[in-house]
Amino acid sequence: MLFHVRMDVHLPRDLPPEEAAEILAREKAYSQALQHSGKWRHIWRLAGEYANFSIFDVQDNAELHEILTGLPLFRFMKITVTPLLRHPSSIREDDS
């Protein structure tokens, strides 16, 4: 089941650089593991913004929530979730 997620990141100025670097490294590893598993289908950067649009493919709302709240950057993010489905004009076999 697909979800569209927008994530806006706001790192506080007083976050120590080493702590920030450590969080960002964990975030990248976390994201890439989920991409390899197929659950995090797409991730794109928005031009000029510290933000991304992502597509998740999960079992249900609970799994989506578990993934999002597990993000190392979660407490520094504003997250907007939109449930998706296959569009009747789509030419793809699956709904990706």
CA-atom Rg of the chain in angstroms = 15
CB of 21 to its own copies, least distance (A): 14
CB 96 within 8 A of CB 41: yes
Q: Binders of its own copies: how many residues, by CB under 8 A?
A: 48
CB of 72 to its own copies, least distance (A): 12
Footprint of its own copies on residues 4-63 (CB under 8 A)?
A: 4-5, 12-13, 27-28, 31-32, 35-36, 42-50, 52-53, 55, 60-62
Which of 5, 13, 15, 6 minimizes the C-alpha distance to 50? 6
